[in-house]
Amino acid sequence: MIRINDIIDKITENHPDAELDIVDRAYIFSARVHDGQMRLSGEPYLSHPLEVAGILADMKLDSISIAAGLLHDVIEDTYATPDEIKNMFGPEVLHIVSGVTKLSGLTFDSSQTRQAESIRKMILAMADDIRVILIKLADRLHNMRTLQFHKESKRRKIAQETLDIYASIAARLGIYWIKKELEDSSFKYLDSEEYSRIESLVSEDKEGREKYLETVKDYIEKKMNEADLECEVRGRYKNFYSIYQKMIKQNLAFEDIYDIIGFRIILDRIPQCYEALGLIHALWKPVDKKFKDYIGVPKHNMYQSLHTTVIGPVGERIEIQIRTRDMDRVAKSGIAAHWSYKEGKSIDENMSKTFAWIQNLVENQADFRNPDEFLENVRIDLFPDEVYVFTPDGEIKSLPRGATPIDFAYTIHTEVGNQCTGAKINGRLSTLKNELHTGNIVEIITTKNHHPSKDWLNFVKTVKARSRIRQWIKIQEKERSITLGREMCEKSFRKYRLNFNALLKLEEMGKAVEHFGFKTVDDLIANVGYGKITPLQIIRKVTPKPEPKEENESILGRIISHVRKKKHRAGVIVSGVDDILIKFGKCCRPIPGDFITGYITQGYGVTVHRTGCVNALKMNPERQIDVEWNKNATETYPVKICISCHDRVGLLADIAANITKNGANILGLKTEILENKSAICFLTIEVKDAEHLHKIISAIKKVGFVYKVKRIDR
């Protein structure tokens, strides 16, 4: 077991001026609260935080990180409270310890491993301080080193999670030695047979291999020196897991893998690198397509090097990397270059920015004299544009920031989205507009036969949700237009004693479809519904002879032109349908401001009634359709008013003057004189909306000898 003094020594070695008091206090506190707890190994629990702190010291981290490492399990596993940590060690230490505790709450089973990428991103996103991740990695590393004390089933689970998630995170952050160790130890527990086989194969001819390594190394050095290229040559072994991966991916037997050993040539300047490459290629035949120039075209994460594979002295393949000292330092300083190349993935822009940032931080770590300055730089927001949420089954979904339960519903299934009526976030009911946050568990409530709403388009964030909602609205519009168009056609055709549905099957109808420039009969009928084509136009097309009777045509023509004229008002929007024929009920004469409803009428589009209209109430509810006033329209509407007054000279003139003064037209007037010198006037006037009408009525009421003014239906 590592002792606190060893850790202190390591810290002073890396940071001679480091503040050690906080580390001492953290050690004492951790020892006190973990007192009496045991590891499965039988060691006192304190050994774990000590080992973790030791690993962090090896990573050359600062005192605050190491103190946090000593305390990383106290909130989760002891009676210590967050407030205590904050009071004793300050908000930074608490922030880091809380972050580690939060991550410890996440466990993933093997069925979720296909989501490894999302999980990795989520973990990185949840830790807003890079030190949280570094402690988590050190924690996992020590847990893997002591995994033999767990039960077999638990070992496998932890090893799989380590391989899928933590090894990759280490690779991404460029802490390559941790990545290798995590991979090899996971591999050992996941497939002990293969692991032992490769282990023994590698050690089998160790002596021969070492000799080979030295020979090739010396040979390269000699050739370089002959060409006046001063360099350092290094030979290295691949880790077991990489060898295993190579065997699987390329379907090779162990004997066929020659590049278990790779070579690296380090020089001073860039031109020397290309010179060295030329020399190597002159010595040994390069393997086609294996040459990569990451000096000319650096990787996104700033990694630079020349990579080549050649056929070596005994006919084996040799991997060689050539780079400058500076490039070598960058590649090792932390944020590794290796992962994208090894794992065959490309790095997105977000990631490369992060790499550049962390790389810079790691390289300049020594320059941060002021701890505040360092702290400011270790706060990270790796994926600012994404949130990660769970399904109730624990599946992770990645969504853009600001996404809502509707977006989530559509990522599950289009029908789940379409029938979504509610949502629960972390078990509590939520509105559909609520913004989701990383870590939320989201449950969608669906109702059969429920449909998407146009409003949803105002707040959904994903392209998928948006396009699915639009698609649904479009289909609905078309379906409604087809129904409407069909009714209109059936009715008009009947007038000419034609059977529309029978005609549909005939060749003439096909010609008509073509004539109007459509692909299908449905398109043609839908366009009748949209009001773009009249049934009469179709009738003319399908029955050129005999001509429709003059009289009928004129009646129909009149009706259609009448309807079309009305349509131009466009003062009303029919829900889900664009460009439809609209009429206003003569029975109730709706004006803007009135509550209205629409009814699909046999043949002529939609008739708009006031909600309370007796005729509207008598209509078949199945024909009912939602309508609303178009706020942008500037139409005027006829409305009837009834005025009770005393019959006096000039009264009508006064009333008329008041109406005109208020900007309305008088369309009609009828007066009835009653016996007792009183009179009733019925006026039809043209108004903009209910407010306009109200203004006029108030004005008329002020005219002398007027008793009562009210709006009437007919």
Name the residues that contact Mn ion, by CB under 5 A: 73, 139
Pick between residue 129 and residue 139 the one whose CB is nearest to Mn ion.
139
Active site residue 84: no
The half-sphere exposure of 30 on its side-chain side, counting CA atoms within 13 A, is 28
The half-sphere exposure of 673 on its side-chain side, counting CA atoms within 13 A, is 7
Tokens 């290094």 locate to 234
Residue/partner pairs of 111-115 with CB below 8 Å, 24 or more apart: 112/394, 112/395, 112/396, 113/160, 113/164, 115/395, 115/396
Pick between residue 39 and residue 424 the one whose CB is nearest to Mn ion.
39
Radius of gyration in angstroms for the set of CA atoms belonging to the chain, rounded to a whole number = 41
- 19, 77, 508, 635: the catalytic one is 77
Pick between residue 34 and residue 610 the one whose CB is nearest to Mn ion.
34
CB of 140 to Mn ion, least distance (A): 8
Beta strands at 572-574 and 627-629: parallel, antiparallel or unpaired = antiparallel
Pick between residue 165 and residue 525 the one whose CB is nearest to Mn ion.
165
Pick between residue 62 and residue 73 the one whose CB is nearest to Mn ion.
73
Pick between residue 57 and residue 600 the one whose CB is nearest to Mn ion.
57
Q: What is the DSSP string of 61-120?
A: --HHHHHHHHTTTHHHHSS--HHHHHHHH-HHHHHHHHHHHHHHT----GGGGGGHHHHH
CA distance readout (Å), 422 to 224, 394, 396, 452, 506: 71, 19, 20, 12, 48
Q: Are 647 and 704 within 8 A, CB to CB?
A: no
Beta strands at 596-600 and 606-610: parallel, antiparallel or unpaired = antiparallel
CA distance readout (Å), 161 to 42, 100, 128, 165, 655: 24, 17, 22, 6, 86
Strand locations in 206-278, DSSP E? 232-237, 261-267
Interatomic CA distance for residues 491 and 529, integer angstroms: 13
CB of 50 to Mn ion, least distance (A): 11
**Is 245 buried (19+), middle (13-18) or exposed (0-12) by CB count in 10 A?**
middle
Pick between residue 123 and residue 436 the one whose CB is nearest to Mn ion.
123
Q: Determine phi and psi for 450, rounding to 5 degrees.
A: -85, 150
CB of 15 to Mn ion, least distance (A): 24
CB of 124 to Mn ion, least distance (A): 19
CB of 243 to Mn ion, least distance (A): 30
CB of 119 to Mn ion, least distance (A): 19
CB of 184 to Mn ion, least distance (A): 21
Interatomic CA distance for residues 504 and 520, integer angstroms: 11
CB of 130 to Mn ion, least distance (A): 18
Which residue's Cβ lies closest to Mn ion? 139
Under 8 Å CB-to-CB from 441, ≥6 apart: which residues?
389, 390, 391, 392, 425, 426, 427
Pick between residue 80 and residue 432 the one whose CB is nearest to Mn ion.
80
Q: Are 321 and 262 within 8 A, CB to CB?
A: yes
CB of 341 to Mn ion, least distance (A): 32
CB of 183 to Mn ion, least distance (A): 20
Under 8 Å CB-to-CB from 540, ≥6 apart: which residues?
548
Pick between residue 73 and residue 319 the one whose CB is nearest to Mn ion.
73
Pick between residue 73 and residue 184 the one whose CB is nearest to Mn ion.
73
CB of 141 to Mn ion, least distance (A): 10
Residue/partner pairs of 246-252 with CB below 8 Å, 24 or more apart: none
Pick between residue 139 and residue 184 the one whose CB is nearest to Mn ion.
139
CA 278 to chain centre: 48
Q: Which of 122, 118, 145, 135 is nearest to 175 (CA)?
A: 135
Element (H, E) at 671: strand 665-673
608 beta partners: 584, 598
Pick between residue 73 and residue 161 the one whose CB is nearest to Mn ion.
73
- 9, 13, 21, 76: the catalytic one is 76
Under 8 Å CB-to-CB from 528, ≥6 apart: which residues?
481, 484, 485, 486, 488, 489, 534, 535, 538
Q: Determine phi and psi for 325, rounding to 5 degrees.
A: -60, -40
Interatomic CA distance for residues 642 and 708, integer angstroms: 8
Active site residue 6: no
Please count the other Cβ atoms lying within 10 Å of the Cβ belonging to residue 542.
20
Q: What is the DSSP string of 480-544?
A: HHHHHHHHHHHHHHHHTT--HHHHTTSHHHHHHHHHTT-SSHHHHHHHHHHTSS-HHHHHHHH--
CA distance readout (Å), 268 to 229, 295, 326, 380: 9, 14, 8, 34
CB of 189 to Mn ion, least distance (A): 18
Pick between residue 140 and residue 461 the one whose CB is nearest to Mn ion.
140
> Omega into 298 within 30° of 0, i.e. cis?
no
The side-by-side arrangement of strands in the sheet containing 606-610 is 582-584, 606-610, 596-600, 624-625
CB of 81 to Mn ion, least distance (A): 18
Q: Token pair of 148, please?
A: 């033999």
The residues assigned a catalytic role are 76-77
